[in-house]
Amino acid sequence: MIPVQFDYLAPSSVEEALAALAEHGDDAKIIAGGQSLLPVLRMRLNAPEVVIDLGGIAGLRGIREDGDALVIGAMTTHHDVLTDALVKEHALLLTRAEHQLADAQIRHRGTFGGALAHADPAGDLGAPALALGAEFVIAGAGGTRTVAAADFFVDLFETAIGDDELLTEVRVPKHTGWGAHYEKFVRVAHQWPIVAVAAAVKSDGGTITEARVGLTNMGSTPIRAHAVEEALVGQPATEDAVAAAAARATEGTNPPSDLNGAADYRSHLAQVLTRRAVLAAAGA
């Protein structure tokens, strides 16, 4: 289907984009890579009068170090995150997740910030961002504010970004030297996961000293598996010890039931995938 007709604006700065949002309010919609928004417009699930394209704002793209954090611009493509040496060195979990996100064409158009702002509970970046304790920098008329990942994902397709605000960058604390793995369960290649698990693990002589685990599609937002993390610390990276910790993966979850799987099936998957993800992250 063809989208309903809209006006197209291409601001060259964040200030111009914010001014356009302020002027057009509810009638406006931001477009980044368009990989989620365009299907929505084509199906006429949304019909904005104005589309504001962030593609011309050079400052929103790129990856840099800032002390103990990596800063990823919202308009950085999935491909650029996937192939970036700094991300691989300091936030390997993101590299692992981007590797499994959609296909090469979508990774060249879709953006890191767009995927997180879209907040699809089946999206592959929310759980890794949550697990790594990312912070989201949001710009509005009054300046910028920083929101912790735990507060950023509010509900299904809903984030802390206000209607008159923009996500400009994501700050990811460095996890240098940590092992990482993203274990994704799909029935069809290059699609969103039925369930996935993001795991980053720090080990010392075969013992897990710190762990970060995030769950994809086990609720209306990404979920941090705190019970698993606590159970892993001090344990050897063995099949039995990790399986015992992974059994707690369903604590605090509220998995959906849909055509891809019932809630109890997803709960089973979460435990199996957590065990696999942690063992792979620990190099066991």
Ligand X SMILES: Cc1cc2nc3c(=O)[nH]c(=O)nc-3n(C[C@H](O)[C@H](O)[C@H](O)COP(=O)(O)OP(=O)(O)OC[C@H]3O[C@@H](n4cnc5c(N)ncnc54)[C@H](O)[C@@H]3O)c2cc1C
Could you list the residues that contact ligand X (CB under 6 A)? 29-37, 39, 54, 74, 101-102, 106, 110-111, 113-115, 117-118, 123-125, 161, 166-167, 191-192
Nearer to ligand X, 101 or 201 (CB): 101
Residue nearer to ligand X on the CB measure, 36 or 250: 36
Please, what is the minimum distance in Å from the beta carbon of residue 270 to ligand X? 17
For residues 111 and 33, the answer to whether their CB atoms sit within 8 Å is yes
| DSSP letter (8 states) at residue 9 | E
Nearest one of 2, 69, 13, 61 to 33, comparing CA atoms: 61
* Shortest reach from residue 32's CB to ligand X, in Å: 3
- Residue 15 CA to residue 234 CA, distance in Å, equals 49
Nearer to ligand X, 62 or 236 (CB): 62
Complex with ligand X: residue 125 or 237, whichever CB lies closer: 125
CB of 64 to ligand X, least distance (A): 17
Give the neighbor-by-neighbor strand order of the sheet with 50-53.
7-9, 50-53, 28-31
Residue 119: phi and psi, rounded to 5, are 55, 40
Which one, 75 or 242, has the nearer CB to ligand X? 75
As measured in angstroms, the least distance from the Cβ of 140 to ligand X is 11
CB of 45 vs ligand X, minimal distance in Å = 11
CA nearest to 229, candidates 87, 132, 90:
132
The DSSP element (H or E) to which 48 belongs, if any, is: none
Please tell me whether residue 201 adopts helix, strand or coil conformation.
strand
Strands 28-31 and 50-53, by their bridges, are parallel
Nearer to ligand X, 164 or 210 (CB): 164
Residue for token digits 């090469």?
104
Helix (H, G, I), strand (E, B) or coil at 43: coil
Shortest CB 241 distance to ligand X, Å: 31
